[in-house]
Structure 1
């Protein structure tokens, strides 16, 4: 069967996150620069190989001071660790439109296995003849597993930041080419 390559459509994709702040609300952010590449057997995503690279310096929480703090040594150390990477290890079908995507996530040179829930939205052809596939991705990671330990104790005895980070994405891929086996 032919191997199909899919590339990210960055104008129709986003990767974001939420974290508890003061343990009473969530702060949201996203990464403005990232890339996702996928290889499938034909148009079947059930055995997909997925790689993603995120430019950590592109973090955006709509607050320049906070974003600068997230880039420094208290959090991501962007100068030493400019990229977050994900490489899939397994895709597991849950039902017709839902998959579990397992893989290795690397943040600050620490590699941990993660499981993401993926909702497959289907394939469509755009007005210019490009074949596109859409996905919604959700998951949770513990930031301390990756050496992101910064926090502050509050007067009330609580902490400023939660440990759990909720990740989410809307990913649209563009079919690039089908490569026939030799």
Structure 2
């Protein structure tokens, strides 16, 4: 009887271990994080869902603090034929007049010729040249960024959030980050503090949270 009880205990314990170490399964309705669209197609075209996406930026102010802002109006598309998105072509356009830093006077200054000169150059544009998988849902996005009359190469660090099926269709999520020097794009308004640092730093940190809808 003791041997029978011991054998049963071992079987139960083994079962618990197997359950405890069973690989996690995707949530119901969610595709594996392989880059394949939730629809199961290897080729796809996606457009940005503006209601669930944002374009944000941060600059250092007076050397000691940061000011955040965003652009409220933007458009974007992604097209690919490979399951891992490695051949993705990405285009993104931002309406400069939609800049919002929660300060009306500052926003007017940003739209002026001191910075974006929005009346003359109403859009910023990005066009990709490469989208390189790095593993672990990380990518390096490379492309050309145009601000005002200047186009320069820029590189984004991208995290892929996965794809999912919903009642409204398939969705995919990405988060992209980069830092650019505003002086490179002729946003050259400059004023120094008493200590010698810039009132507004040269470096601008950009973050894009993009939720995409698959085009059927």
Query: Does TM, normalized by the shorter one, top 0.5?
Result: yes
CA RMSD of aligned residues (A): 1.3
Shift of 1:153: 1.5
Match of 1:53 in 2: 93
Question: Structure 2 matches for 1:79-90, cutoff 5 A?
Answer: 79-90=119-130
Task: From the superposition, tell whether residues 2 and 23 of structure 1 become closer, same or farther in structure 2 (CA, over 3 Å).
Answer: same
Per-residue CA shift, 1:135-172, capped at 9, x if unaligned? Answer: 11111111011011101122222220111110001100
Question: Which residue of the partner structure matches residue 185 of structure 2?
Answer: 146
Aligned equivalent of 2:26: none
The aligned counterpart of 2:109 is 69
Structure-1-length-normalised TM-score: 0.93
The residue that corresponds to 1:180 in the other structure is none
Whichever structure has more helix as a proportion of its residues is 2
Could you say which residue in structure 2 is the equivalent of 1:97? 137
Aligned equivalent of 2:75, options 30, 35, 44 = 35
Greater length-normalized contact order (CA 8 Å, ≥ 6 residues apart):
1
Normalising by the residue count of structure 2, what TM-score does the alignment of the two structures yield? 0.79
Q: 2:171 aligns with which of 110, 132, 157?
A: 132
**Conserved 8 A contact 1:4-1:43:** no
CA distance in 2, matches of 1:24, 1:85: 31
- 2:146 maps to what in 1? 106
1:168 paired with 2:207, answer yes
Deviation at 1:96, TM superposition (A): 2.8
CA distance in 2, matches of 1:147, 1:54: 17
Q: How many residues align?
A: 176
Q: Which has the larger radius of gyration?
A: 2
More strand by share: 1
Unpaired stretches in structure 2, ≥5 consecutive residues = 1-40
CA shift for structure 1 position 2 = 6.3
| Residue number among 37, 47, 53 corresponding to 1:7 in the alignment | 47
In structure 2, how many angstroms separate the alpha carbons of the residues matched to 1:43 and 1:65?
46
CA distance in 2, matches of 1:67, 1:46: 37
Q: Structure 1 regions of 5+ residues with no counterpart?
A: 178-182
Please give the secondary structure, in 2, of the residue aligned with 1:45. coil
- Contact between 2:42 and 2:83, CA under 8 Å: does it hold in 1? no
Mapped to 2, the partners of 1:158 and 1:142 lie a distance apart of: 15
